[in-house]
Structure 1
Amino acid sequence: MAQTCSHQTKLVAAAIIAVVIISALTAFAYTSSNTALKDIAKSGLESTAGVMAAQINASEIQGLTPGDENTPQYLAIAAKLRTMRSMNDYLLNAYIIRVNTTDHSATFLVDDLYPLDPSDSAKIGEAYNPPDKLEILEALSGPTASPSPYTDQWGTFVSAYAPIDDSAMDSNGNTYAVLGIDVSAKDYVSATTQGGWIIATGVVSIIIVLCLLYAFGRKSDGSGPAP
């Protein structure tokens, strides 16, 4: 009797250890997979923002002041942003921000949703202080992207930013403005959370191990079917 109890205790312990090990390995694989997907998505957004920013000449946006939304200059650059954005179905919005390097304030300069959606588009000079403000400031030096989805007055997004040089030719290396692009948080999460098969594999592995241990235990204590 004591031997049977000892045997059962060992089987229970083995089952617990197996479940813990498989669960830990599954969690590690799932986390690693999603981290890799997020890195890929972030890199892709930064590259897209960088390419788009490189197509903007500072002369196209210089001199814009509040109230200029209906001028030919503004409408031309807004249309140019929309054209570039249309090449990627996941992009919801493209815009240009001016950053004051003295007090680190940020204001909108161009929003490609205008004049198509004037009520939901940002106006020239409108202050912008999103949760990922740090990424906007860092974009003065190079492309950046939100570390995670954030929510502002327009919705929940992940954004990427890139510097617009002061001159397309003979640049002195100064950033005149920052270009931003948005993707929906829903699309971002869907693209970076695709490890369901890993969890399914882990669950199946646990079930198989527990079944094998159960079958082994029945055979060892003699309760299995007679030969």
Structure 2
Amino acid sequence: MTQTCSCSTKLIATAVIAIVIISLLTAFAYHSSNATLRDAVQSGLKSTAGVMATQINASDLKGLTPGDENTTQYLTVAAKLRNMRSMNDQLLNAYIIKVNTTDMSASFLVDDLYPLDPSGSARIGQADTSPDKVQIFEALSGPTASPVPYTDSWGSFMSAYAPIDDTAGNTYAILGVDVSENDYVASTTHGEWIIVTGVVSIVIVLSAFYMFSRKNEEEIPKVP
């Protein structure tokens, strides 16, 4: 009887250790898989913003002041942003930001939602209050992206930014693009098969230990 209890205790302990190991490996694989997806999506967003920024001439932006939203100059740039954005179904918005390194402020210069959505678009000179301020200023040196989804007065997004340079190679403004947080999460949260594999592995391990335990009990001679 003592021998049976001892074997059962060892089997239970071994099963618990095996389950813990499988669970940890599954969690690690799932996290790594999604981290890789997040990196890929962020890189894609940065590349998109970078390419779009090269198609905007800084000279087309110079001289824009609050109230110029209905001028040919503004509408031409906004239409160009919309046309480029239409090539990617996931992009919700494309816009241009003017930054001031003196007081570290950022304000909108062109919003491609205008004039199609006047109430939902930013006007010239309107302050950009998104939590991505660091990324916006870092974009003066090259494409950047939000580290995580954020929420501001416009909604919840993941964004990417890229510099718009003038003919002298100096950054005149920053181009930004947005995707919805929901689309971002949907495209970076996969790997359900990893979880399923982990669960199946645990079931197999438990079944194996159960069968081994039953077999072990049958082989141990009963003491009269």
TM-score (norm 2): 0.97
Counterpart residue number, 2:185? 189
Q: What is the distance in 2 between the residues matched to 1:153 and 1:196?
A: 33
Q: What is the distance in 1 between the residues matched to 2:218 and 2:20?
A: 28
Contiguous gaps of at least 5 residues in structure 1: none
What SS does structure 2 have at the residue aligned with 1:94?
A: strand
1:34-45 correspondence runs (5 A):
34-45=34-45
The runs of at least 4 aligned residues of structure 1 exceeding 2 Å deviation read none
Counterpart residue number, 1:28? 28
1:103 shift after superposition: 1.1
Report the identity percentage.
Answer: 71
What SS does structure 2 have at the residue aligned with 1:148?
A: coil
How many equivalent pairs are there? 220
Counterpart residue number, 1:213? 209
Q: What is the distance in 1 between the residues matched to 2:96 and 2:170?
A: 16
1:223 shift after superposition: 8.2
1:174 shift after superposition: 1.3
1:129 shift after superposition: 1.9
What SS does structure 1 have at the residue aligned with 2:218?
A: coil
Letter in 2 for 1:190: A
Counterpart residue number, 2:128? 128
TM-score (norm 1): 0.95
Counterpart residue number, 1:153? 153
Q: What is the distance in 1 between the residues matched to 2:208 and 2:163?
A: 59
Q: What is the distance in 2 between the residues matched to 1:74 and 1:142?
A: 25
Q: What is the distance in 2 between the residues matched to 1:223 and 1:30?
A: 41
Q: What is the distance in 2 between the residues matched to 1:177 and 1:223?
A: 80
Q: What is the distance in 2 between the residues matched to 1:221 and 1:13?
A: 17
Counterpart residue number, 1:110? 110
1:166 shift after superposition: 1.9
**1:133-180: CA deviation from partner (whole Å, max 9, x where unpaired):** 11001001000000110001111000000000022xxx2x31100000
User: Which of 197, 200, 204 is the equivalent residue of 1:201?
Assistant: 197
1:40-79 correspondence runs (5 A):
40-79=40-79
Q: What is the distance in 2 between the residues matched to 1:26 and 1:153?
A: 38
What is the RMSD computed on CA atoms of the aligned residues? Answer: 1.1
